[in-house]
Amino acid sequence: MPATLNQTNPAHTTDEQPAWVEAGKAWSRHALDWAYRFESYGNDAIESIFGRLGIGPDTDLLDMACGSGLAATRAARLGATVAGLDASDALINIAQRRTPNADFVVGDMFELPWDGYSFDVVTSFNGIWGGCDAALAEAHRVLRPGGSVGLTFWGRGSNLDMRDWFFALGMSAPSVGEELIATSSIGTPGVVEEMLAITGFTNIERWDVSAILEFADEDDAWKAFRSPGVVAPALDALGENELRSRLMPTVEHLRAADGSYRIVNELTCVTATVRK
Ligand SMILES: C[S@@+](CC[C@H](N)C(=O)[O-])C[C@H]1O[C@@H](n2cnc3c(N)ncnc32)[C@H](O)[C@@H]1O
C-alpha cells in the first residue's frame, strides 16, 4: 500500500511514519500549485452540494481532507461556523490564511479530534475514496442526529477528459496504479451507497456535476498535474522530465490553438443523512 493518498487503510503505517503523515508530506510537496492551479476544479461541486444541504449561518460544518480550503472559505462566506482537517500542513496553512476564523487542524481523517455530535454537516470533496469506510464512520460519529454528509469523487462515466491521464499515471509506477484502482472503486455505482448505508446513513442521493480545469499553457497545466499527492511516487520513480513526457500527451487534444487548455471531468456528488 503506497503512502500517497493513504486513505484505503487507516491501520497502514510505513516503517517510519503513520500513513496520514506520509500522505501529508506528499500533498505538501507542491501545495501552492494545488491551491492556485488545481483546487478550483471543485467550484461547481461545492456550490451544488452546499445548495442542496442549505449551508448558512445556522450550520456547524466540518470539511474533511479540506486541502487548501476552497470549500471552507465558501462555507464561511455563507455564514457557517467552519472547521477543516487535512494531513498536509502546507495546505492547512493556506486554508487558514484564506479563512482566519475557521478552526483548521492538521490531522488524520480516520481519527478526528472532535467530540461526537459536534457538527450539522460534514463534507469531503475528493477526500474520501474507496476503502475509506473508517473515515465515513468518523464523519457519522461527529455528526448530530439528522445531520448530513456531502461527498464528491471522480465519476466513472465517459465524461472524463483526464481518463487517459489517470491511466498513464497508473502505469508510471506499480504502487500508483494499485492505489488508483483501490481508491477509484468508489465511483462504481452502488459502492458509495453501500459504504454509507453500512455506516448508518440514510436518504442517499447521487448526481453528477462538471469539474472544469483551465490552464493558460503547458507549464501551467504540468504544474497543476504534478501537484496531487498521488503523483509524488511517480515523480520519484521516473523523475519530472520523464513523467511529464508521459502525461502531457494524454491531454494534447484538449489544447486550443492559443496553447491553453480546457479540461472537463465528471464529478459525482453524494449526500446522505444521519438517522434521527
Ligand atoms: C484530492 S485532495 C482534496 C483536497 C480538497 N478537499 C479539495 O477538493 O481541494 C485530497 C486531500 O486529502 C488529504 N489527505 C490524504 N489522506 C488524509 C488523511 N488520512 N487524513 C486527512 N487528510 C488526508 C490530502 O492532504 C489532500 O489535501
Predicted pLDDT at 14? 54
- CATH number at 183 reads 3.40.50.150
Per-residue pLDDT reduced to its tens digit, 183-217: 888 988 899 999 999 999 999 999 999 999 999 99
Is the pLDDT at 5 greater than 50? The verdict is no
125 Cα to the center of ligand 1, angstroms: 8
Domain assignment present for residue 13? The answer is: no
Ligand 1 contact via 20 beta carbon (within 6 Å) = yes
Ligand 1 contact via 170 beta carbon (within 6 Å) = no
How far apart CA 266 and CA 276 sit, in angstroms, is 32
Domain assignment present for residue 40? The answer is: yes
Domain assignment present for residue 9? The answer is: no
How far apart CA 169 and CA 246 sit, in angstroms, is 8
Domain assignment present for residue 175? The answer is: yes
Which amino acid type is present at position 113?
P
pLDDT band at 263 (very low <50, low <70, confident <90, very high): very high
Reduced to 3 states (helix: H, G, I; strand: E, B; else coil), residue 201 is strand
Predicted pLDDT at 155? 81
Per-residue pLDDT reduced to its tens digit, 104-115: 999 999 999 999
Residue with the nearest Cα to atom 8 of ligand 1? 125
The whole model's pTM is what? 0.94
Domain assignment present for residue 182? The answer is: yes
Domain assignment present for residue 136? The answer is: yes
Residue written as grid cell 498535474: 225
Q: How many domains does the chain have?
A: 1
Ligand 1 contact via 179 beta carbon (within 6 Å) = no
Domain assignment present for residue 248? The answer is: yes
- What domain range is 34 assigned to? 19-274
Ligand 1 contact via 42 beta carbon (within 6 Å) = yes
- What's the whole-number mean pLDDT along residues 13-25? 85
127 Cα to the center of ligand 1, angstroms: 5
Ligand 1 contact via 66 beta carbon (within 6 Å) = yes
Domain assignment present for residue 5? The answer is: no
For residues 152 and 268, is the Cβ–Cβ distance under 8 A? yes
pLDDT band at 157 (very low <50, low <70, confident <90, very high): low
